[in-house]
Amino acid sequence: MEIGVPKEIKNHEYRVGLTPSGVRELVAHGHKVLVQAHAGQAIGFSDEQYLEAGASILPDAESVFARAELVIKVKEPQPVECRMLRPGQVLFTYLHLAPDPGQAALLVESGAVAIAYETVTDERGGLPLLAPMSEVAGRMAIQAGAHALEKAQGGRGVLLSGVPGVPPARVVVLGGGVVGLNAARTAMGLGADVTILDKSLPRLREIDNLFGGHIKTLFSSQSHIEAAIRDADLVVGAVLVPGAAAPRLVSRSMLKSMPPGAVLVDVAIDQGGCFETSRPTTHQNPTYVVDGIVHYCVANMPGGVARTATQALTHATLPYALALADQGWRAALMANPHLRNGLNVCRGRMTHPAVAEALGLPYVEPLLALAQSE
């Protein structure tokens, strides 16, 4: 199969769909990999390394999209990329369609087969292709929050760890999944006072056991959220209902109860955000202030540590890329229900129930859509 890897074009997005070592594995399976010139150059993956791994280098995105049967990317396709897709072509990348009707309409129109990393599942109920970027973003959320808390950045001038005789900052994490756990661990490592809220009691039990009580856990009710954020220095938004738009947990009126200069880091922004006042920002302009509260809402946080993130992402996606390429997309999707959960759009039809519901579009069962797409 011919597999294409275009250069990412989102603001300050330096990740790339495959590392050279990922390319080498696909080539060893008899596939042809077409990489856009300079796709990985910014993070130290040169065209020479891709050539050595067995790829062909193509000059521009147009030629990669025109030839590839399977396109492997990182971020959701931008409108110019959606317009390069063709019927039956397979797109394997993050999509985050629930809050993005414009992208959904373009993907439906393209007739392509769009498989979203973030809704592929595993046997243990996890999201194996979201997890590596959630690990990265969770850890980064504390770095970003610590920086935003500095006075010169608009923050309240609090050091997360405190110092002897001065208490540490209070960090509240909404959602104790992969992002939440990694944020909490990093904040705890710095000596902050950490509380995690989740609505899953089994998850809260796990966290309590894991950290031996060093991290406080709270059931995520409206009253507990209101009480927790009232004296928080840093709040991390890390909730997810797979495929759906993020639940809005903090309203604008609740910001008034928080200390001026407190910081909200909304990692869940790619699913629309869990604070009413969140709107997506970029690495170039990551923060803005509403009612005295600093908001950091970068929708592609791992792009900031693109080399680490690209390696982690390829490790996770490669087995699925190999299955799609070795078996053919239809057979691979038919054979593996977890990969099939990633199918969001199949030749003009919406095939993920939560995504279709969030967008108010008709839903078609994926097996039916696959059978009818022959």
Ligand X SMILES: NC(=O)C1=CN([C@@H]2O[C@H](COP(=O)(O)OP(=O)(O)OC[C@H]3O[C@@H](n4cnc5c(N)ncnc54)[C@H](O)[C@@H]3O)[C@@H](O)[C@H]2O)C=CC1
Catalytic-role residue among 96, 100, 233, 352 = 96
Enter the tokens of residue 11: 């603001």
Q: Is 236 helix (H, G, I), strand (E, B) or coil?
A: strand
- The answer to whether residue 204 forms part of the interface with ligand X (CB under 6 A) is no
Considering the candidates 193, 233, 266, 270, report the single residue annotated as catalytic.
Answer: 270
**How many CB atoms sit inside 10 A of residue 303's CB?**
24
**200 contact choice in Mg ion, ligand PYR, ligand X, none (CB below 5 to 8 Å, kind-dependent):** ligand X
Point out the residue whose Cβ comes nearest to ligand X.
177
- The answer to whether 356 is annotated as binding is no
Helix (H) or strand (E) holding 148: helix 131-148
Half-sphere exposure of 180 (CA within 13 A, CB side): 26
How far, CA to CA in Å, does 134 sit from each of 43, 120, 364?
20, 14, 29
**270 flagged as catalytic:** yes
**75 has binding-site annotation:** yes
The interface mask with Mg ion, positions 296-315, x = CB under 5 A, is: ---xx---------------
Rounded Cα gap, residues 108 and 106, in angstroms: 5
Q: How many residues bind Mg ion (CB under 5 A)?
A: 3
Task: Name beta bridge partners: 266.
Answer: 237
Q: Can you tell me the distance from the alpha carbon of 266 to that of 137, in angstroms, rounded to the nearest whole number? A: 10
Among 94, 275, 296, 329, binds ligand PYR (CB under 6 A): 94
Write down the least CB distance from residue 260 to ligand PYR, Å: 30
Nearer to ligand X, 25 or 118 (CB): 118
**Binding ligand X by CB under 6 A: which of 17, 177, 261, 366?**
177
Is 96 catalytic? The answer is yes
x/- map, 300-339, ligand PYR, by CB under 6 A: x-x-------------------------------------
Question: Cα angle vertex 297, ends 293, 301, to 5°?
Answer: 140
**Residue 270 is a binding residue for Mg ion (CB under 5 A):** yes
Residue 75 and residue 192: Cα distance in Å, rounded?
32
Query: Quick one: 13 or 69, whose CB is closer to ligand X?
Result: 13
Q: Which does 174 bind (CB under 5 to 8 A by kind): Mg ion, ligand X, ligand PYR, none?
A: ligand X
- Give the β-pairing of 193-198 and 216-219: parallel
> How many residues in total does the chain contain?
374
List contacts with ligand PYR (CB under 6 A): 94, 130, 133, 270, 300, 302
